[in-house]
Amino acid sequence: MWSYEKKLQYPVKVSTCNPTLAKYLTEQYGGADGELAAALRYLNQRYTIPEKVVGLLTDIGTEEFAHLEMIATMIYKLTKDATPQQLRDAGLGEHFVAHDSALFYNNAAGVPFTTSYIQAKGDPIADLYEDIAAEEKARATYQWIIDMSDDPDLNDSLRFLRQREIIHSQRFREAVEILKEERDRKKIF
Amino acid sequence: MKSNPETFTKVKSYVPFHGPCDPCPPIGRKYYSTPPNLYLGFQPPNLPQFSPAEALKSGTLWAFFYDFYENPYKKRAGKGNG
């Protein structure tokens, strides 16, 4: 089970009215390498992975939901006061006609989320390597969003999230090292 | 795979080929991140830590892993080739 703390993992402040950024941020909301995909991937893979790394997948999968909540807050703040005209100018007209300014699990191009974005091969090495790749892809996506954004406060939160991807990648790499380790074998050199 | 912070850079770059018939002006240099975790392997004990306030701000407790990101193309914006 989970317990919920009613606060964000890191503060989200948006200083400019720029609904176009909301469109870009949906890539991390319902995109292939987004936070939803990450959370579902890790929390699902953890059942069929050696016990030593189950806790890691639980911890990181849970943190991804905290990141998802930050992204949702950013998108909400950027669109909640936008008029239909402003949303249309931001390329969100198609989103508006289906959802008003409600959030939805799309990628930045409007493609709805699908579980084919994630994998569970049942092979610990294959799954952890996928997880490492997912973290690097999410890190790169944050970089490209920062490159497109000139909102310093928003970029501050995005830099925090990018740093977390680096740490997660490190921990998954360490998980691979733990599973590679030959512990009970007599080593003769 | 262990190495000191001084022995690697966190950003690499290369110049992609630009042919005489390419329609756009050359982008010049392309940049990519190579964050510190790529160089460490398993985290060794007793790495230096940030203070709690710094750690909450930066997103990591461990100074070694901290990697500030800035748009590498920002400097050239408005110069007509970026």
CATH of segment(s) A19-180: 1.20.1260.10
Q: Which residues of A touch B69 (CB under 8 A)?
A: 142-143, 146, 159, 162
Q: At residue A112, does pLDDT exceed 60?
A: yes
How distant is the Cα of B37 from the closest Cα of chain A, in angstroms? 6
Contact A163 B37 (CB under 8 A): no
Q: At residue B80, does pLDDT exceed 60?
A: no
Q: At residue B76, does pLDDT exceed 90?
A: no
- Average pLDDT of every residue of chain A: 95
Instruction: Locate the domains of chain A by residue range.
Output: 19-180
Residue A156, phi then psi, degrees to nearest 5: -60, -45
How distant is the Cα of A165 from the closest Cα of chain B, in angstroms? 10
Binned at pLDDT 50, 70 and 90, residue A182 comes out as confident
Helix (H, G, I), strand (E, B) or coil at B72: coil
Q: At residue A117, does pLDDT exceed 60?
A: yes
Residue A96, phi then psi, degrees to nearest 5: -60, -45
Tell me which chain A residue has its CA closest to the CA of residue B66. Answer: A163
Q: Is the ipTM reported for this complex over the cut 0.95? A: no
Instruction: Judge whether B65 and B10 are in contact, CB under 8 Å.
Output: no
Query: Could you give the CA distance from residue A5 to residue A66 in angstroms, rounded to a whole number?
Result: 10
- Residue-wise pLDDT tens digits, A46-76: 999 999 999 999 999 999 999 999 999 999 9
The H or E element spanning position B53 is: helix B52-58
Contact A177 B73 (CB under 8 A): no
Q: Which residues contact B52 (CB under 8 A, 6 or more apart)?
A: none
Binned at pLDDT 50, 70 and 90, residue A92 comes out as very high
Q: At residue A155, does pLDDT exceed 70?
A: yes
Query: Could you give the CA distance from residue A31 to residue A6 in angstroms, rounded to a whole number?
Result: 25
Q: At residue B5, does pLDDT exceed 70?
A: no
Percentage of residues in chain A having pLDDT higher than 90: 94
Q: Which residues of A touch B41 (CB under 8 A)?
A: 173, 177
Mean pLDDT of the region A12-31 = 96
Q: At residue B2, does pLDDT exceed 70?
A: no
